[in-house]
Structure 1
Amino acid sequence: MPAGSDGAGVLMATVAVLVAVLGLGCALALLWLYRRLGLQRGQLRKALSQLAHSEQQTRDANELLLAKQGVEQAFAELSTYMQGIDQHALVSVTDAAGRILRVNDKFVQTSGHGREELVGQDHSMLNSGYHNHAFFERMWTTIQRGEIWRDVVCNRNEADGLYWVDMAIVPQKDAAGQMARYIAVCVDITEQRRQEDALHYRATHDALTELPNRTLLLERMARTIARARSRQRPVAVYFVNLNRFKQINDGLGRGAGDQVLSEMARRLQDQARGGDTVARLAGDEFVVVSEGLSRSMVEPFGARLQTVLQAPVLLSGEPHVLGGSVGVALFPDHGDDPETLVKRADLAMVQSKSRSDGGVCIFSSEMQDAIDVRVQKEARLREAIVRRELVLHYQPQVDFETGALVSLEALVRWDSPDYGFLMPGKFIGLAEESGLIGAIDTYVVDAACRQMRQWHQQGHGWIRTAVNLAATKFSDPQFKTELHEAMARYGIPPGVLELEVTESLAMRDPDAALVLMHELKELGILLSVDDFGTGYSNLGYLKRFPADRLKVDQSFVRGLLKSPQDRAIVAAVVRLAHNLNMRAIAEGVESEDEAILLYALEVDEIQGYWMARPQPAEAVEKLFDQPMLLDPATFLQREALPVVLLVEDETITRELLEHVLQSFGVRVASAASAEQAMEMFHQHDYAIAVVDHWLPGSSGIELLREIRKRMPHTARVLMTASNDPQVLRDAINIGGVAHFLAKPIDPAVLRNVVHDACWNTAAQRRRTPPPPAG
């Protein structure tokens, strides 16, 4: 290329830019034009001269004319193209020292500087400070070797604003081979850069809090770790999870949840030190990365984070306290890459959440061991479904009126060759977290239907069987199809398969639950509402649910003998079930006393360990031939017997008196102290209370006064070895005692006293005279 050719430099620089900006096709077209014609007018003149010479020699004038027109047209195309480049690109020419010799109008317009300001200066007047010294060193090294340099440059205009250009610099040498000038052609890509930056920001930042997201967090952590490694400094990674966020988000709505997240993000940023990174991963999870914290400061800094999260958040003018759980992982102690450190900080956070004090928890290898075991167990559970290691045990449900077995509840177990025989509590939680619960539910329905058909084929008839299903199964669009196919596969008639729907599940989306329940009823499936009373109840929806049974949760059954509140709840649930034309069934019955109380409260059916534990199919089918699993007459007789409250602290004396009293045909509820006795007041409607004078921590007279106040119809008897007249006066005046028994107790006297007291109490209630003692 001839020396001094600005046009050639402009074109070459433009081609370099256009390859990236306008595409390879445009650049190749320009090169074709250049090679076809050359660039300098001298070359064109030479071409025209050659054509003129040819004209003298050729006889075909038309051919010569066409050749001239072709050259002129090509030159016109090139001129037009160069004008387009001049309008589109910023062009500057500098001498070998970098001083500006010429600039085009586009350069002046974009930079905001006048041409006279620019000429004679170097490009440093446009330096934005964005690029470091090494950037420009690389540029000068390249062009001084005579090579074209190309990169994206951020400049500063006269108004102190930034603009971005895609720049190519073409060096040119003179005839002696010395560097003569540099020609720079730039395309303004500021708007493109803004759009790219906006897209990059959205891709690397959380839209709500504007904190770095996981992508940017890991990038920054990689740089922080590399820097810390070279400086031999520690890095602390804090994983923060908000407490009670789900309740706020579900209860008050997403708007309130977003407000909480924004506020908590601000608080965490306020606590961060210079150079720290605060990021939001997802939901209510945040990460704080801090370099250079000494080991002694790791926990205090985490505690500071917890403290600011504990402060109330105002939502619609009302304060709400959430708090947060914080786990920490340290570089290099717990990992040397971002992913590992975040995962291990997360594990520590989970440990923090499970601790009673909820304090900051630092990762330990034991936590990783536990998660490794969990991952392995999840893999084995996945295999167990395929290998049919899950088995069903069946627990009888018995009708109080007939004493007969009326249905079974199918309960899944895992018979694992690695972990042994596991109850649901050992693997259902894992199944829910790992997404395997749906497959297990499908397995259980199929296995229960298959077993029902087998019993039917063995001549036992169709045994009604209930199965529990997870919440996720009810939202599965294939759920109804799976049920229909299972029933068809095994020929299950209507009214045999029952599904237990938990109250909390039904109330999560009651309208959807109502629709689904009606669809299930159309398939002939029975429904029961399980765990009733333990969650949020909406009686307006409950009355519309087409359920067949209402299950009293075992937590209330367990408290029947101790809590008057539990007894009142059970009574209310039973009445509610009957008023809604449902049968009431109580689960978790573990003693005869509980069964007697449930019978008195008019529960229809019971199940529990007192009658039968869950058993394999081959064991439970032995019960099918028994006409009764319990005798209703027992409950009728026991319900009619009067109950005596016996309070005696000496074990031998108490057991002897229990035996004597039971021989009289009464039921005995005994206690060893006044405190224990008062806890039993609500358990029965006592006909008589027989109380020892001397009791640990209280006198028998004080207890009798409490009985007189709270159970006025109960006859009161004091056992005492004292002859002190004051004791007798206090017993009569304070305790309202009707009878005294002198120790040691004479069984015959005790019998007469109990008989008279019981019948007097009954007569007082029924207003009928007592019969003579027999």
Structure 2
Amino acid sequence: MDATDVKFGLPALERDGQRWTTVRGDLRFSTHFQPIYSLSHRRAVGHEALLRAQDGAGNPVSPLQVLASAAALGELLEVDRVCRWLHANNFASQRRGDHWLFVNVHPAVFARGPQRGTRAFFNHLSEETGLKPSDIVLEVTEEAIGEDERFGQAVALARELGCLLALDDFGAGHSNFDRVWNIRPEIVKLDRSVVRRAAQEPRVARVVAQMVSLLHECGALVVCEGIETLDEGYLALESDVDFVQGYLFGRPAPDLCDIEGPLDPLEAVWQRFDEQHVRAERCYQERLAPYLHALGNAAGWVATGRSVEEACRPFLALPAAELCYLLDERGLQVGHNVTSARFEGQLGARFAPLADARQARWAKRPYFRRALENFGRVQVTRPYLTVHGARLCVTASVSLRCRGQVLVLGGDISWEGE
């Protein structure tokens, strides 16, 4: 290793056993790596490089302190590149197979670096370490986006070089999807706070699953950071997250983990999924069975000419049934809602403007479309927010034919507490 890289002001790298370290001022820098696992591949697909610093007495110094000591942009740029240089060399010296190196980039350095030699630095790093730009994932935090007019140029340069971009800490603070659309990252890392709360609150867990789905539609793979418990690992898997990172799967260490073969905690997460899926599906079917049976019977009676009120009376007598309604083949509501006594007592003034649904059109609702696509077979939706109040419900629906006309009978079932 060259004593010093004069062109970029990079200090000498020194051997400490099998790993590289470097000294800057009175601090010694070294690298720790934390593995990132693919849930589907059941193996590590990358490592995040983390800075470790010690003062002359061997006391640890936090990375935040290291960055805070760099007052001017030029000094910050130097510290940032020294860290990436060190991490890249440590990664390259023990790399095995196709594997990503995730490196954090300071927002100011990312935005202003293109005017200060970013392209030349990456070319030099690739030549010296043998790493391709496509091996490197640049992690940038949300607050960097849009706060500097040069950010767009930096994103364009990173793409031109061939690096992947990861949006870090998504969900912390004032997150919004506008930032995802602006940067179009290949990877989004969900903040630890999102995972922790979702593992404790089923309602939040459902929102996280939808968030992951939307991020996928935006073209991004999703990492759950900070996974520490089996419950959090299971939440990530259940939410269709692509990658996981956290103490449950591996603590930061100087050496890369073994990227081959399954990991015990990962296998435990999959075992929990297998057990929970079977149990949850059984409970789900058992809970819904009387409602689906009652709605199917009601559809048969409506088809013979009985009124919705009379046909749906057994359905509405069930404990979680809320209301029934009839739609024509265009999704237009025929008549008014028929409500259960329990639900009638819960209706308040806050949503009164939505109470009268006569001639409302529900053609875009999944329960309507699925009922038409599966004629005569009772369908059921995922939990969703009912327009009759700020709470969750599921809708059972079934298509029928009455006097030559195709109709859809729907029944809403409260899903609170699930």
Check whether the contact 1:449–1:487 (CA below 8 A) recurs between aligned residues. Answer: no
TM-score (norm 2): 0.56
Q: Please tell me whether the aligned partners of residues 397 and 409 of structure 1 are also in contact (alpha carbons under 8 angstroms).
A: yes
Go from structure 1 to structure 2 and tell me whether the alpha carbon gap of 1:639 and 1:434 turns closer, same or farther (over 3 Å shift): farther
Q: Relative to structure 1, is the Cα distance of residues 403 and 418 closer, same or farther in structure 2, using a 3 angstrom cutoff?
A: same
Q: Which among 237, 241, 256 is matched to residue 603 of structure 1?
A: 241
The alpha-carbon distance between structure 1 residues 686 and 591, as it changes in their structure 2 partners (threshold 3 A), is: farther
**Partner SS state of residue 440, structure 1:** helix
Residue 420 of structure 1: aligned partner: 59
SS at match of 2:24: helix
Deviation at 1:470, TM superposition (A): 1.1
- The equivalent of 1:634 in structure 2 is 271
Q: Distance in 1 between matches of 2:24 and 2:207?
A: 39
Residue 532 to residue 415, structure 1, CA distance change in 2 (3 Å): same
> How big is the shift at 1:423?
3.9
Aligned to 2:123: 484
The residue that corresponds to 2:155 in the other structure is 517
Distance apart, 1:601 and its partner CA? 1.0
Residue in 2 that maps onto 1:21: none
Report deviation, 1:603: 0.7
CA contact (8 A) 2:44 2:260 kept: no
- Are 1:580 and 2:218 an aligned pair? yes
What's the counterpart of residue 431 of structure 1?
69
Q: How does 1:315-326 map to 2 (within 5 A)?
A: none
Aligned equivalent of 1:446: 85
Matched, 1:529 2:164: no
SS in 1 for 2:199: coil
Deviations 1:677-698 (A, max 9, x none): xxxxxxxx8989xxxxxxxxxx
Contact 2:27–2:56 (8 Å) recurs in 1: no
- Looking at structure 2, the residues matched to 585 and 686 of structure 1 have their Cα atoms a distance apart, in angstroms, of 31
User: What secondary structure is seen at the aligned counterpart in 2 of 1:642?
Assistant: helix
The counterpart of 1:466, out of the listed 92, 102, 111, is 102
| CA–CA distance in structure 2, aligned partners of residues 712 and 594 of structure 1 | 30
Kept after mapping to 2: 8 A contact 1:599/1:635:
no
SS state of the match for residue 613, structure 1?
Answer: coil
- AA at the equivalent of 1:560: A
> Post-superposition shift, 1:522?
1.4
What is the alpha-carbon distance in structure 1 between the residues aligned to residue 55 and residue 278 of structure 2? Answer: 49
Higher strand share: 2
Give the letter aligned to residue 391 of structure 1: S
Identity rate, percent: 23
Q: Equivalents in 2 of 1:498, 1:525: separation in Å?
A: 6
Change (3 A) 1:601 1:481: same
2:296: which partner in 1? Answer: none
CA contact (8 A) 2:142 2:179 kept: no
Distance 1:573 1:429, change over 3 A: farther
CA RMSD after TM alignment: 3.5
Partner residue of 1:257? none
How do 1:15-26 residues align onto structure 2 when only pairs under 5 Å count? none
Q: Equivalents in 2 of 1:453, 1:501: separation in Å? A: 22
The 8 Å contact of residues 399 and 405 in structure 1, kept in 2 or not, is answered as yes
Q: Secondary structure at the match of 2:145?
A: helix
Quote the Cα distance in structure 1 between the aligned partners of 2:286 and 2:83.
50
- Three-state SS of the structure 2 residue aligned to 1:522 is helix
CA contact (8 A) 2:122 2:133 kept: no
Structure 1 distance, partners of 2:89, 2:67, is 26
Q: 1 CA distance for matches of 2:245 and 2:190?
A: 11
Task: Tell me, in whole angstroms, the C-alpha distance in 1 between the residues paired with 2:206 and 2:71.
Answer: 36
Measure the CA separation in 1 of the matches of 2:285 and 2:52.
43
Instruction: Name which of 582, 586, 592 aligns with 2:230.
Output: 592
Change in Cα spacing, 1:422 to 1:541, as seen in structure 2 (3 Å) is closer
Structure 1 residues 488 and 466, CA gap change in structure 2 (3 angstroms)? same
Shift of residue 392 of structure 1?
A: 1.2
Structure 1 residue 518, shift from structure 2 partner: 1.9
Larger Rg: 1
Matching residue within 590, 614, 624 for 2:259 = 624
Q: Partners in 2 of 1:636 and 1:414 — Cα distance?
A: 39
Return the letter of the residue paired with 1:554. R
Give the one of 496, 503, 508 matched to 2:135.
496
* Alignment partners' CA distance in 2, 1:388 and 1:588: 28
Give, as a single letter, the amino acid of the residue that structure 2 aligns with 1:507: G
Work out which structure has the larger RCO, using CA pairs closer than 8 Å and 6 or more positions apart in sequence: 2
How much does 1:494 deviate?
3.5
Give the deviation of 1:413 after TM superposition: 1.1
Give me the whole-angstrom Cα distance separating, in 2, the residues matched to 1:487 and 1:389.
24
Distance 1:633 1:541 in 2: 32
**Aligned residues of 1:395 and 1:408 also touching (Cα < 8 A):** yes
In the TM superposition, what whole-angstrom CA distance separates every residue of 1:518-568 from its partner, at most 9, and x where no partner exists? 211111211111111334456455324242101111111111233456434
1-side partners of 2:180 and 2:240: how far apart? 21
Q: 1:580 to 1:637 in 2, by over 3 A?
A: same
Q: 1:616 to 1:389 in 2, by over 3 A?
A: same
* Alpha-carbon distance in structure 2 between the residues aligned to 1:428 and 1:568: 39
Q: By how many angstroms is 1:637 displaced?
A: 1.1
**Following the alignment from structure 1 to structure 2, what is the Cα–Cα distance between the partners of residues 514 and 568?**
33
Aligned residue pairs, count: 267
The secondary structure found in structure 2 opposite 1:588 is: coil
2:52 aligned counterpart, secondary structure: strand
Equivalent pair of 2:54/2:61 in contact (CA under 8 Å): yes
Structure-2 separation of matches of 1:387 and 1:624: 35
Q: Distance in 2 between matches of 1:550 and 1:606?
A: 11
SS at match of 1:495: helix
Distance 1:569 1:440 in 2: 39
For residues 151-550 of structure 1, what are the structure 2 equivalents within 5 Å? 384-386=23-25, 389-418=28-57, 420-425=59-64, 427-428=65-66, 430-431=68-69, 433=71, 436-456=75-95, 460-474=96-110, 475-476=112-113, 477-478=115-116, 479-509=118-148, 512-537=150-175, 539-540=177-178, 542-550=180-188
1:428–1:437 CA contact under 8 A, matched in 2:
no
Contact 2:227 2:244 in 1 (8 A): yes
Partners of 2:260 and 2:121 in 1: CA distance: 32
TM-score by length of 1: 0.32
Letter of the aligned partner of 1:482 in structure 2? F
Aligned-partner SS, 1:482: helix
CA distance in 2, matches of 1:506, 1:470: 12
Q: Distance in 1 between matches of 2:35 and 2:191?
A: 16
| Alignment correspondent of 1:658 | none
Q: Distance in 1 between matches of 2:174 and 2:26?
A: 39
Q: Report the alpha carbon displacement of residue 627 of structure 1 after superposing the two structures with TM.
A: 4.5
**Any conservation in 1 of the 2:140–2:167 contact (CA below 8 Å)?**
yes
Q: Is the 8 A contact 2:134 2:163 kept in 1?
A: yes
Q: Is the 8 A contact 2:238 2:273 kept in 1?
A: no
- Give the C-alpha shift of residue 433 in structure 1: 4.9
More helix by share: 1
Q: 1:99-118 residue pairs with structure 2 within 5 A?
A: none
Aligned residue type for 1:562: Q
Take 2:72 and 2:179, find their aligned partners in 1: how far apart are those partners? 32
> Which amino acid counterpart does residue 140 of structure 2 have in structure 1?
V
Are the equivalent residues in 1 in contact too, given 2:172–2:194 (CA < 8 A)? Answer: no
Relative to structure 1, is the Cα distance of residues 602 and 538 closer, same or farther in structure 2, using a 3 angstrom cutoff? closer
The question of whether the paired residues in 1 share the 8 Å contact of 2:137 and 2:166 is answered with yes
Shift of 1:598: 1.5
Q: Deviations for 1:632-662, whole angstroms, at most 9, x for unmatched residues?
A: 642431332436xxxxxxxxxxxxxxxxxxx
Q: Amino acid of the residue matched to residue 552 of structure 1?
A: L
C-alpha distance 432-587 of structure 1, shift in aligned 2 (>3 A) = farther
